[in-house]
């Protein structure tokens, strides 16, 4: 697999440089760089980036730490984003401080529409809403949520939308439920275990952890209710797209290569790494990852039908201005080359 990856990438680009990472108010951290900027080999590139944390960014971060990108001549300098990652990314791109990032298209597209100099250039390794509705043990089914407090992560966005659609499709009126913006990851899980909420939308591994610890159980998976909602994208600055297209192509192709390598060649090692990274047992982490394997697609080309549907939902609930359009905010030029180079076909093609 490694020889194949290297061979494919060398046919795609002839660029040089060093990869650099994302930033916030925190200091920049060099990642997987065998030398300082300006001292790398002729076939090494540098891209400034800002990557997601938690389960959303787990595979990419493992690939970086494992050195899978470095074997392909790609290095990163990474500065962790603030708690409001999407706003941080928009700010950093506007100031010209990063080249690429990943994250939530429902936040990025309105920013691009309103002048942020960037475009969506590909899908994340998974781009369905990998959220779980988890309830305490007094809640047996959706009907029991009436009169209860339900965590929605935020006041808008994909996680709250998931709650609304799951309630709607199970005949529960939101008028009879107390919806609470309770945060994500550990914060959301703590609100469930403390009794602040009776149920919450949440990422793994916390859904699996709730069942393993006996503190709650899963009521449903968000992507079973809104399978056409688009939640994970890769974004690049206009400057990077226009001035360094070879580097962008090299990075984007490598992104899907290393994710497939993790899935096929390093899966067990990834489970061990992720368990340690997210402070949970390996058994719980394996359950969490395997329960979402059906949406680990690694397909590059941005689906316009998902974009259209996603913005219909966002406008339905008044979370974006009705004038905002996704048209002109993305390009599949680089994603299509990556798909063709790697021999990937759309897993969701009808």
Helical segments of the chain, H only: 2-12, 54-66, 85-94, 105-113, 158-169, 185-193, 206-213, 222-225, 238-243, 245-265, 267-277, 282-290, 304-316, 333-342
Q: Which pair of structure tokens corresponds to residue 232? A: 């994970």
pLDDT of residue 12: 40
Residue whose token pair is 């390996």? 282
52 in Cβ contact with 85 (< 8 Å): yes
| CA 340 – CA 261 distance, rounded (Å) | 17
Any idea which fold 46-128+230-342 has? Answer: D-Maltodextrin-Binding Protein; domain 2 (3.40.190)
Q: What's the rounded Cα separation, in Å, for the pair 252 and 327?
A: 21
CATH 3.40.190.10 domain residues, the chain: 46-128+230-342, 131-224
Query: With contact defined as beta carbons under 8 Å apart, do 103 and 200 qualify?
Result: no
In this prediction, residue 340 carries a pLDDT of 98
Whole-angstrom distance, CA of residue 178 vs CA of residue 141: 16
Please name which of 27, 59, 120, 21 lies closest in space to residue 289, comparing C-alpha atoms.
59
Q: What is the mean pLDDT of each run of 10 residues along the chain (350 residues)?
A: 42 32 39 38 86 93 97 88 80 95 93 96 96 97 97 93 96 97 95 98 97 96 95 97 98 98 98 97 97 97 96 92 94 98 90
Query: What would the CATH number be for the domain defined by 131-224?
Result: 3.40.190.10
Q: What is the distance between the alpha carbons of residues 141 and 206, in angstroms, rounded to a whole number?
A: 19
**Whole-number pLDDT of residue 27:** 39
The token duo for 90 is 């928009």
- Residues with Cβ within 8 Å of 36's Cβ and at least 6 positions away in sequence, in order, are 30
Contact between 142 and 100 (Cβ < 8 Å): no
pLDDT at 41: 52
Q: What is the DSSP string of 58-104?
A: HHHHHHHHHTTTGGGTEEEEE----SSHHHHHHHHHHTT--SEEEE-
Residue 242, exposed/middle/buried by CB under 10 A (0-12, 13-18, 19+)? exposed
Residue 301's Cβ-side half-sphere holds a number of Cα atoms within 13 Å equal to 17
Q: For residues 113 and 19, give the distance between their C-alpha atoms in angstroms, rounded to a whole number.
A: 27
Residue 36: per-residue pLDDT: 32
**Residue 69, CA distances (Å) to 64, 111, 274 in order:** 6, 29, 18
pLDDT of residue 350: 63
Q: State if pTM tops 0.95.
A: no
| Three-state DSSP state, 143 | helix
- Tokens describing residue 84: 């409001």
Sign of the Cα pseudo-torsion (92, 79, 31, 5, in order): negative
């Amino acid at each position: 697999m490694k020889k194949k990856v290297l061979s494919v990438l060398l046919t795609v680009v002839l660029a040089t440089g060093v990869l650099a990472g994302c930033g916030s108010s925190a200091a920049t951290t060099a990642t997987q760089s065998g030398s300082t900027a300006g001292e790398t080999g002729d076939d090494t590139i540098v891209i400034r980036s800002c990557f997601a944390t938690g389960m959303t960014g787990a595979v990419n971060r493992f690939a970086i730490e494992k050195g899978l990108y470095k074997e392909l001549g790609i290095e990163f300098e990474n500065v962790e984003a603030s708690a409001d990652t999407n706003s941080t990314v928009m700010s950093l791109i506007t100031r010209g401080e990063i080249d690429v990032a990943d994250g939530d298209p429902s936040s990025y597209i309105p920013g691009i529409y309103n002048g942020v100099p960037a475009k969506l250039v590909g899908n994340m390794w998974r781009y369905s809403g990998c959220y779980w509705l988890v309830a305490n043990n007094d809640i047996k089914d959706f009907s029991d949520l009436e009169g209860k407090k339900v965590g929605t992560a935020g006041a808008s966005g994909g996680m709250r939308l998931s709650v609304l659609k799951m309630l709607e499709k199970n005949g529960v009126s939101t008028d009879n439920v107390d919806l609470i913006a309770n945060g994500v990851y550990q914060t959301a899980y703590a609100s469930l275990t403390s009794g602040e909420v009776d149920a919450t939308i949440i990422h793994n591994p916390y859904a699996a952890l709730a069942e393993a610890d006996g503190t709650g159980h899963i009521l449903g998976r968000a992507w079973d209710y809104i399978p056409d909602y688009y939640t994970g994208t890769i974004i690049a600055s206009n400057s990077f797209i226009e001035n360094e297209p070879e580097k962008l192509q090299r990075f984007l192709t490598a992104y899907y290569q290393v994710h497939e390598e993790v899935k096929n060649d390093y899966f067990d090692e990834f489970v061990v790494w992720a368990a340690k990274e997210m402070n949970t047992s390996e058994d719980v982490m394996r359950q969490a990852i395997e329960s979402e394997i059906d949406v680990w697609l690694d397909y590059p080309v941005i689906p316009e039908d998902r974009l259209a549907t996603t913005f219909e939902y966002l406008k339905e609930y008044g979370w974006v201005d009705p004038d905002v359009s996704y048209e002109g905010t993305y390009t599949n030029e680089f994603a299509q080359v990556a798909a063709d180079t790697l021999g990937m076909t759309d897993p969701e093609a009808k």
